[in-house]
Amino acid sequence: MKKGMVYEGTISRVDFPNKGIVYIPEEDRLVTVKNGMPGQKIRFVINKFKKGNAEGRLLEVLEKSPLETRRPVCSIFPACGGCMYQTMPYEEQIKMKEGQIRRIMDEVVQGDYIFEGVKSSPKEFGYRNKMEFSFGDEYKDGPLSLGLHKKGSTYDILTASDCRLVHEDMNRILVCVLKYFQKQNVCYYRKMQHEGYLRHLLLRRGDTTGEILVSLVTTSQEEHDLKPLADELLSLELEGRIVGILHIINDSLSDVVQSDETRILWGQDYFYEKILGLEFKITPFSFFQPNSRGAEVLYEIVREYIGDIRDMTVFDLFSGTGTISQVLAPVAKQVVGVEIVEEAVEAAKENAARNGISNCKFIVGDVFQVLDQIQEKPDVIVLDPPRDGIHPKALPKILDYDVERIIYISCKMTSLARDLAVIQAKGYRVEKMTAVDQFCETVHCEVIALVSRIK
């Protein structure tokens, strides 16, 4: 088997994240091919070898999977990389994710543990309360587009005018913004040349409140009067309501949504969302679970796993806008939240005051550094780190507290598996684990693990 060779085969299973496994009898070996679905017969080319394993690039789907029993629900499937599995029944998506979690965790977890399966999202479609759309073109020198990356492409952008992962309000806003700039003949930012104006459209919408925050992200290379755009947005017929329109300046060379300067074009720079009866103020860049209804399922599991904490101090590390802290505060002695994003910490403090919670303390800073300064000692720790998990230097510090129980929430199961190996080596055992499908139609899933100190 060599690079450039073309094969045909059937995807026997899909491992996380999105790795289709194909057996080639004539070579007696397995090949990993991304962007496929279990049961599809595909044609692919070998494009690299990694640690002795062969990886292929999908060229063509020759036969649909027997699992593909539904029609696509949007116009850019399957070319779009935003979601993968919308033609597969939701129950089959859940089964596939359960298999992915078990194959990873059964290898790393020492001894027996209880796996409680994957809980479904209360909403399969229209669940996302946040979406980052990119400006670009669908093909080189094509007309301006606004939406999501073409599957497997870093540059091509497909206009997502009927995306089903978000509420219809977001689609109407996207179409309005795209048409406005097409008429004005404004160019998008070209990443390789570092030239251009339009970068991203960041939309956030409260699922329970209907409040919408619109953020247009551009470079400072051009100046445009954006008031007419704001007026057009405010005249849209929406189910929810726009509470703020922002112009965010971002001259960073990297392709991330961030702010060098934020200008309020209209309204305010925040919106509100409600979770389990609590109200949360959310700013453009503060972390909040992207599936509000799924977050309620997730936090109920956290409450159950953490048990009786009436006289205990809880550390909520990587606390974001303080949602978990405030969900746990009514049944704890004290909760200390640590978060590196300053605006998220300010929002967390405001949220706690708004919800009448006085036993929460929020600290801004890197977990690795902040732990040296905190006077309190935790009885229980909740970890909800970013996708790549906990920094290798921070994890030993966390484990040095020697608490009885740790709840670890992870949006990337391979990061959780890596960190669980370290946690178990420090004298902990995995008691039980479950997952919540916060990201329907996609490769991702939120996994919750309860680990306890071995007596």
- Residues 45-70 pLDDT 10s: 999 998 888 999 999 999 999 999 99
**Could you confirm whether 411 is annotated as catalytic?**
yes
pLDDT per residue over 352-388, tens digit each? 999 999 999 999 999 999 999 999 999 999 999 999 9
Mean pLDDT (the chain, rounded): 95
What is the pLDDT, as a whole number, of residue 446? 97
Q: Is the pLDDT of residue 255 over 90?
A: no
- 115-174: per-residue pLDDT in tens? 999 999 999 999 999 999 999 999 988 999 999 999 888 899 999 999 999 999 999 999
Q: List pLDDT tens digits, range 394-448.
A: 999 999 999 999 999 999 999 999 999 999 999 999 999 999 999 999 999 999 9
* Per-residue model confidence (pLDDT) at position 331: 95
pTM: 0.93
Terminal C-alpha separation, the chain: 51
285 pLDDT exceeds 90? no
Q: One of 74, 163, 360, 411 is an active-site residue; which one? A: 411
3-state secondary structure the chain: CCCCCEEEEEEEEEECCCEEEEEECCCCEEEEEECCCCCCEEEEEEEEEECCEEEEEEEEEEECCCCCCCCCCCCCCCCECCCCCCCCCHHHHHHHHHHHHHHHHHHHCCCCCEEEEEECCCCCCCCECEEEEEEEECCCCCCEEEEEEECCCCCCEEECCCCCCECHHHHHHHHHHHHHHHHHCCCECECCCCECCEEEEEEEECCCCCEEEEEEEECCCCCCCCHHHHHHHHCCCCCCEEEEEEEEECCCCCCCCCCCEEEEEEECCCEEEEECCEEEEECCCCCCCCEHHHHHHHHHHHHHHHCCCCCCEEEEECCCCCHHHHHHHHHCCEEEEEECCHHHHHHHHHHHHHCCCCCEEEEECCHHHHCCCCCCCCCEEEECCCCCCCCCCHHHHHHCCCCCEEEEEECCHHHHHHHHHHHHHCCEEEEEEEEECCCCCCCCCEEEEEEEECC
- Asked if residue 368 lies in contact with residue 394, where contact means CB atoms within 8 angstroms, the answer is yes
pLDDT tens sequence across 16-26: 999 999 999 99
Tens of pLDDT, residue by residue over 292-332, are: 999 999 999 999 999 999 999 999 999 988 999 999 999 99
pLDDT given at position 132: 97
Q: Read off the amino acid at residue 248.
A: I
Q: What is the pLDDT of residues 174-186, one digit of tens each?
A: 999 999 999 999 9
Q: Which pLDDT score is estimated for 81?
A: 86
